[in-house]
């Protein structure tokens, strides 16, 4: 098992914004089964909402990191898909990646312009 606080430490010491939709996938690739992948979305900044307590719009940039379960070491987070793609609409992971029969991974996500 992987502790939740260890997962949150994986995204870096100071995330820039709120974190959304974490999805874990144990690497199915031969020789890489010791890797646990974490996909998530990170907001870039406050949404400027006038609703009390609603400081963030859902979504942002899609990012990934991975844990080497042999060493307990997290890789630095990497950008998968920028919020800037498709006109600046924030993205959120919708589930863990699907692994196709050819070995390719497909990461489901949704995007929605905030209406705050």
Q: What is the model's pTM?
A: 0.79
Q: List the domain boundaries for the chain.
A: 4-101
Q: How many CA atoms lie within 13 A of 13 on its CB side?
A: 0
pLDDT tens digit at each of 116 positions of the chain: 455 555 555 555 556 677 888 999 999 988 899 999 999 999 876 655 556 665 566 789 999 999 999 999 999 999 999 999 988 888 999 999 999 999 999 999 998 776 65
């Amino acid at each position: 098992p992987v502790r939740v606080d260890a997962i949150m430490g994986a995204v870096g010491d100071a995330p820039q914004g709120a974190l959304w939709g974490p999805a874990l996938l144990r690497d199915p690739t031969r020789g890489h089964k010791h890797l646990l992948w974490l996909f998530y979305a990170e907001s870039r900044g406050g949404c400027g909402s006038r609703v009390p307590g609603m400081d963030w719009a859902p979504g942002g940039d899609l990012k990934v990191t991975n844990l080497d379960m042999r060493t307990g070491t997290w890789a630095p987070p990497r950008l998968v898909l920028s919020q800037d793609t498709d006109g600046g609409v924030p993205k959120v992971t919708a589930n863990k990646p699907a692994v196709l029969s050819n070995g390719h991974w497909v990461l489901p996500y949704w995007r929605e312009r905030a209406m705050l």
